[in-house]
């Protein structure tokens, strides 16, 4: 019986590194690419949080986007394991929501540390490798919230607007190295984003916003439960990852496309009025 040399097999396959792969969109994306025959470097803060034994082409690596040493180590180990990295998916993130006045300095900092600075940390760490290779694709998972602002999402909106601007500007300087930047923009997705992963601000001495905030939080949760399955985002990430063009924006399905289009063509006061009525 011929012995299977997995190292040789891995080195002939394309490799994707995904941050925040322990749940939700990240986990579904890892599984989706594995089924498509890719090597998957599934990175997360707790490598025991998911079981990937069914897929020999998925390897788990410890990575915390706010820990630059863990980022560098994960990238190096992924290259050692698979021989290369072809695509980076910056997926790790969460939402901090509620009245901005309720938010502590620590909560504000954490939201930007993970969603913006963490994404930048991983991107900066992979760039020397991609430049040396003369190719590479970086897929940043943003949101329709990077185009349109929503009640109680002031901090989350700010981070996703930042990701959009960062990505668009970065493409100018990376195109000369054949490095592509892609932005995937989901709308409501049915994951734990709206419960376990959401940090809702409270304040022990202020309740002036509660009558407005509480119904909106409930409504957003209901919209999330009616959202698209996470595999819809995985399919869009796959489309972006295999693209040979420099197309940058990839809204997820018609829902996201329609909302982004509405924001562009409808007067701002009308759009905000519609959003307010929807979440009332």
Residue positions annotated with a catalytic role:
156, 160
Cβ(236)–Cβ(243) below 8 Å: no
Give 80: exposed, middle or buried? Use CB within 10 Å, 0-12, 13-18, 19+. Answer: exposed
User: What distance in Å separates the CA atoms of residue 279 and residue 155, rounded to the nearest whole number?
Assistant: 18
Handedness of CA 20, 133, 35, 189 (dihedral sign): positive
Cβ(170)–Cβ(119) below 8 Å: no
> What are the beta bridge partners of residue 141?
184
User: What distance in Å separates the CA atoms of residue 26 and residue 198, rounded to the nearest whole number?
Assistant: 16
Handedness of CA 60, 62, 65, 69 (dihedral sign): negative
């Amino acid at each position: 019986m011929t012995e299977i040399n997995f190292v040789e097999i891995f080195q002939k396959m394309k490799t994707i590194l995904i941050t925040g792969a322990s749940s939700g969109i990240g986990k579904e994306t890892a599984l989706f690419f594995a089924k498509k025959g890719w090597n998957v470097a599934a990175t997360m803060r707790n490598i025991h949080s998911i079981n990937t034994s069914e897929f020999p082409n998925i390897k788990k690596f410890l990575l915390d986007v706010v820990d630059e040493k863990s980022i560098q180590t994960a990238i190096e180990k992924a290259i050692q394991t698979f021989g290369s990295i072809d695509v980076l998916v910056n997926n790790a993130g969460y939402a901090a929501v509620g009245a901005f006045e309720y938010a502590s300095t620590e909560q504000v900092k954490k939201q930007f540390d993970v969603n913006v600075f963490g994404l930048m940390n991983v991107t900066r760490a992979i760039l020397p490798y991609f430049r040396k290779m003369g190719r590479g694709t970086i897929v940043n998972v943003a949101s329709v919230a990077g185009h349109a602002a929503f009640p109680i999402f002031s901090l989350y909106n700010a981070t996703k607007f930042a990701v959009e601007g960062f990505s668009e500007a970065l493409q100018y300087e990376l195109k000369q190295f054949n490095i592509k930047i892609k932005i995937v923009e989901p709308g409501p997705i049915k994951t734990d984003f709206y419960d376990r992963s959401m940090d809702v601000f409270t304040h022990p001495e202020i309740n002036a916003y509660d009558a407005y905030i509480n119904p909106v939080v409930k409504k957003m949760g209901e919209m999330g439960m009616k959202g698209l399955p996470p595999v819809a985002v995985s399919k869009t990430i796959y489309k972006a990852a295999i693209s040979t063009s420099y197309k940058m924006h990839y809204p997820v399905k018609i829902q996201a496309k329609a909302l982004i289009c509405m924001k562009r063509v409808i007067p701002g006061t009308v759009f905000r009025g519609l959003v307010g009525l929807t979440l009332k």
